[in-house]
Amino acid sequence: MNRRDFIQLAALGAGAMLLPLPTFAKEISESELLTPILSTADKKRLADVALNTARSNGASYCDVRIGRYLRQFVFTRENKVQGVQNTESFGVGIRVIANGTWGFASTNRVTADGIKKAAETAVAIAKANSKFQKEPVRLAPTKALGEVSWKTPIEKNAFEVPIKEKTDFLLSVNDAAMKNGANFVSSSLFLVNEQKYFASTDGSYIDQDIYRIWPTFNVTVIDKTTGKFQSRSELAAPMGMGYEYLSARPEGKYQLPEGVIGYGKYYDMIEDATLAAQHVKQKLKAKSVEPGKYDLVLDPAHLWLTIHESVGHPLELDRVLGYEANYAGTSFATLDKWQSRSFNYGSPIVNLFADKTQPTSLGAVGYDDEGVTTKQWDLIKDGILVNYQAIRDQVHILGEKESHGCCYADSWSSVQFQRMPNVSLAPGKTKLSVADMIAGVDKGIYIVGDSSYSIDQQRYNFQFTGQLFYEIKNGKIVGMLKDVAYQSNTQEFWNSCVAICDESDYRLGGSFFDGKGQPGQVSAVSHGSSTTRFNNVNVINTARNV
């Protein structure tokens, strides 16, 4: 089954069309395995073949990734199961430095002979490329870790849950929405398991077992009188968790204004679908927004996407340098702004940090794809731009001697490169609830949920909309609005930030499909925040285009 057929059959939509499926990925049954289960000792033995071959052929550095990637997709609509897909791919990627130049090769022949030939090819490519290399690769040192391992701390492996249990659950989600007035509802479950073994000539042998889960739905209600319709999708985030994410535990809920529920570590999908149908009926009767300046109260289920586009992407160092421009362009946040140590990216209460360790986040791993132990570091400190996202061959540009640990490849057949870690807004330092924040707003809009957006090729001028909009007057929510979008530029927007709720409101949002590179790769990334207020932001009416 080729990639196009998979996408058409699965009907993943625009985001999922970026999903990286190797050309030989096959449809398999739930119990069927395409690849042998290798022991850690077997993986080490095969990795050493690559390392020794590369060195004997003239490489000064080599790393090897043996990867087994499992993905499962379960789709339903109303009272029908639309389809179930399982994919599996298995292979080896080998990256080397020879004559000061990178070379890369991969193979699905996971044998000593296949790996030996791939390592030889990688070195040959590096040597051929070195004729055009102007400066040798400068690789920041990293510790020799020996043999270590890391696993996503899951309670229940979602891949081991019977298909019938998953489809029954999704159909119950659909039923809950339809009983509350939905005309159409679709739901799905996306599961990922990355089993990755990394070894390098630096002396590290790293075995990682990574799990992610993304439950989704979309509810639509039609006004039979006018023929108009409105929709709402899930308000919960994809997570780096097991099937326990769907256990609907009370500690996973945040009671918000106007009957909105925020979801944290656990997700009550049936409850959310029930509320979604009620919200969509309200949206049909909502007042169309009057354009103008408003104070915005942005829920984490909305703000994560604004963080992703206006902070995450522009602070990728390769974009800043102009080395990367695919999907998201370059960046306005050029090195001179960082070097000044005085560039006001945001107001003094804005603290944005990068993190590859945050529990349950999509980006959480123990080690990145070049063997660096992951960590947290500041990007914006007290409103000032203080750092970027960089990997081993980039950090010398920043005068640093240690990688940030944010290197990633979406497959064994893809070369690893700098990818966005979790980028999050730190919660406020003083106690402040969502209700208290709304009480302080005279003229504003409370926005919940992510939707479409537009941003320019320097990640500067932008427009965002959401799913639910509530008008605030004199400190109170007075009704639902529709046709809302806000416009600003990155610096102006973050400098208009005047209040952030405390850590008790902190929640994650995120995406499975952050695209970058050529050929394109995708990665999964989370963005956390508490509810945040931005003053005097321009709001337009999308129905009237003003």
What tokens does 531 get? 């509810």
Quick one: which of 315, 324, 305 has its CA closest to 346? 315
Q: Are residues 208 and 297 in the same domain?
A: no
pLDDT value at residue 327: 82
CA 278, chain centre distance (Å): 29
CB atoms near residue 14 (< 10 Å): 7
Q: Are residues 533 and 443 in the same domain?
A: yes
- Whole-angstrom Cα distance, residue 412 to residue 63? 12
166 domain-assigned: no
171 domain-assigned: no
Residue pair 512/349 in contact by the 8 Å Cβ criterion: no
Q: Are residues 333 and 193 in the same domain?
A: no
182 domain-assigned: no
Q: Tokens 């004997």 map to which residue?
A: 56
pLDDT value at residue 37: 83
CATH of the domain at 192: 3.30.2290.10
Give the single-character DSSP code of 160.
Answer: G
234 domain-assigned: no
Q: Are residues 202 and 55 in the same domain?
A: yes
Q: Are residues 333 and 460 in the same domain?
A: yes
224 domain-assigned: no
Q: Are residues 368 and 509 in the same domain?
A: yes
Q: Are residues 435 and 317 in the same domain?
A: yes
- Whole-angstrom Cα distance, residue 377 to residue 395? 13
Q: Are residues 440 and 314 in the same domain?
A: yes
pLDDT value at residue 111: 96
pTM of the predicted protein model: 0.93
* Torsion sign across C-alpha atoms 79, 83, 88, 93: negative
Q: How many domains is the chain partitioned into structurally?
A: 2
253 domain-assigned: no
Domain hosting residue 303, numbered range:
292-541
Within 8 A by CB and 6+ apart from 22, the residues are: 89, 91, 108, 411, 413
Mean pLDDT per block of 10 residues along the chain (546 residues) reads 34 37 38 70 98 98 98 98 96 98 97 98 98 96 97 98 98 98 98 98 98 98 94 97 95 91 96 97 97 98 98 97 90 98 98 98 98 98 98 98 98 98 98 98 98 96 98 98 98 98 98 93 97 98 81
181 domain-assigned: no
Q: Are residues 322 and 460 in the same domain?
A: yes
Q: Are residues 350 and 453 in the same domain?
A: yes
397 domain-assigned: yes
Q: Are residues 20 and 122 in the same domain?
A: yes
What tokens does 342 get? 């005085």
Q: Are residues 358 and 447 in the same domain?
A: yes
Q: Where are the beta strands (DSSP E) in 99-173?
A: 101-107, 146-151
- Whole-angstrom Cα distance, residue 494 to residue 350? 7
